[in-house]
Chains A and B, each alone.
Chain A
Amino acid sequence: MKKFKNGVSIFYLAIIFLFLYAPILVLIGLSFNNSMSRTVWGGFTFQWYASMTQNDSIIDALGTTLRISIFSSILATILGTAAAVGICAMKKRNAQIMLGATNIPLLNADIVTGISMMLLITRFTHLGEASVMVSHIVFSVPYVIFNVMPRMQQMNASCYEAALDLGASPVYAFYKVVWPELIPGVLSGFLMALTMSLDDFTITYFTKGAGVNTLSTMLYTELRKGIQPELYALSTVLFLLAFGMLFLMNVKKEPNQNRKEAKA
């Protein structure tokens, strides 16, 4: 009976994984397809991998995507970490107001956030690349704050006070006592901000200026006239990079905190 139950479990997981990975396998397949058509298999080729670095519009969109994601997630991390440290020192009522406001971009529909930022920005200046960066910070700061806050709250305040009593300056005490405790939260907040920013379409779509294209918005405009096959190749490379990175991180973490990780 137990064996049967196990078999059913594994079969069910396999079906779900097939559902999750089928589109990805299709895309990886297309990146090797020697045909411009999406539905016809024209033989195996590496030519899209070779030509993707020569395709200016794609390299341009990749550059824009990376610039926006990296800048916005770094700034969001700085802003959010400072905010989390500050909010923890606030009176309960003020802290609740701040956290309530922090929830707004998380709970609001993306389309509403995007439109509201567009309305604000077009009133005072014009849309461009900077407007996308600012809007990305708006939706990524909450992820940083909600990753750093628990770390702050779990920390024993006496350690910091002890450092001060022993003659450390507040900045030195923060750097030596508080900061090392915060790092994991800051890092996971940064990674979440980066992921959300890289994958965002809706907010970018509403806040980008003419001529600014990230990979997502470029793909959207190409959906009707046909996707350049180099984009499949590029996405496959990016996916494999992410896979490698996450895989390494996962393997490294495995031995000591398997159980803890599942809870986080």
Chain B
Amino acid sequence: MNNKRQAYLAAPYGLWIIVCTIIPLLFILGYAVTNDAGKLTFDNLLAIADPVNLKCLMLSFKTSIITTVICLLLSYPVALILNSANIKNKSFVVFLFILPMWMNFMLRILAWQIILSNNGLLNSLLSALHIPTQHILYTEKAVILGMVYDFLPYMLLPIYNALSRINNDVIEAAKDLGANNLQVFTRVILPLTKSGVISGIIMVFVPALSSFVVSNVLGGGKVMLIGNVIEQEFTLARDWNTGSGLSIILMIFVLLAMGITQKQDNAGEGGTLI
């Protein structure tokens, strides 16, 4: 194969990466370390130490961690059930999990607003069953629920893919050697799906950490995450420098979180998430 000529096919993409991926990030960095007069400063990065911003960052971490754990606990059993031999048409069931993503994201979140509101569907149902009504909308609970709803497929699919790759003979071998069901699960299935779990965690945690739409719609302005702070710096305060500074901080935390998570994956199946 004429390798050199073939490699040139990637040249437009190489240029594209530089112009549309690397340079834009340098722009953010540029805004982050200057003030509006163009002087070098670290104030924008240190803005995260402001108690108000710090509180939002901590809340972001809290909601993202809770969201990720709930997604993991909900989707692992689903993946196990789908993978067990009981269900005939597996790819169709998987398809049913992806389908909701084809309803507009904003509308899906809005629908939760309608379900959770004080005189909404959930409370009508609860009062019909004579259960005390719940005040969920515009609290952290609603934001977490919205995020779990939105990100569940991103956790489910990598875990399911990892599970379906496990050779049944391995499980049978473990059973032949005297392992009970629990041992098969903890010593064989769990380690073999670790890389799927880790991709899932990254694919849920990272967008959850930086989300601002869900908290805006279901938190009603009462739940301020770091994503909301950054968005408001750009759209309301028009302070691009502080906004960029906080974005860089967010980026650093995302990279750190990813580094820590991926370090657990010492089996090292490779870096791509899809």
Contact = CB atoms under 8 A, between A and B. Distances in A.
Given A99-B271, A109-B206, A250-B95, A39 B114 contact: yes
Contact of A120 (B23, B217, B250): B23
Given A26-B114, A254-B91, A134 B20 contact: yes
B91 A261 contact: yes
A154 B271 CA distance: 18
Given A16-B74, A26-B121, A219-B107, A109 B210 contact: yes
Contacts of A110: 207, 210
Contacts of A141: 13, 16
Interface string A80-98: 1011111111100010001
Contacts, number: 243
B164 interface: yes
Contact of B164 (A157, A250, A262): A262
Interface residue tally of chain B, by bracket?
Answer: 35 or more
A211 interface: no
Contacts of A94: 7
B2 interface: yes
Contacts of A146: 272, 274
Contacts of B27: 116, 119-120, 123
A112 B210 contact: yes
A153 B25 CA distance: 31
Given A111-B227, A120-B27, A39 B120 contact: yes
A6 interface: yes
Main SS class of interface, A: helix
A87 to B, nearest CB: 5
Summarize B's interface: helix, strand, loop or mixed: helix
Interface residues on A, range: 35 or more
A108 interface: yes
A38 interface: yes
A143 B272 CA distance: 10
A253 interface: yes
Given A24-B108, A120-B24, A254-B91, A106 B210 contact: no
B129 to A, nearest CB: 16
Contact of B9 (A85, A108, A109): A85
A263 interface: yes
Contact of B102 (A12, A85, A134, A195): A195
A160 to B, nearest CB: 6
A219 B110 contact: yes
A86 B11 contact: yes
A52 interface: no
Contact of A119 (B7, B9, B217, B240): B240
A137 B15 CA distance: 14
Contact of B115 (A23, A82, A258): A23
Interface string A188-232: 000010010001011000100000000110011001000100011
A146 B274 CA distance: 7
B24 A89 contact: no
Contact of A227 (B25, B110, B271): B110
Nearest to B23: A120
A206 B210 CA distance: 14
A169 to B, nearest CB: 11
Contacts of B7: 86-87, 89-90, 94
B99 interface: yes
Contacts of A101: 17, 21-22
Interface of A: 6, 9, 12-13, 16-17, 19-24, 26-27, 30, 38-39, 79-80, 82-90, 94, 98-113, 115-120, 123, 134, 137-138, 141, 143, 145-147, 157, 160-161, 170, 192, 195, 199, 201-202, 206, 215-216, 219-220, 223, 227, 231-232, 235, 238-239, 242-243, 246-247, 250, 253-254, 258, 261-263
Q: Ordered nearest first, which 9 A-B pairs have the shortest CB separation?
A: A86-B10, A23-B111, A109-B210, A83-B13, A116-B24, A86-B9, A89-B6, A242-B102, A119-B27
9 contacts: A13-B78, A23-B112, A85-B6, A99-B271, A111-B231, A201-B213, A219-B104, A246-B102, A253-B91
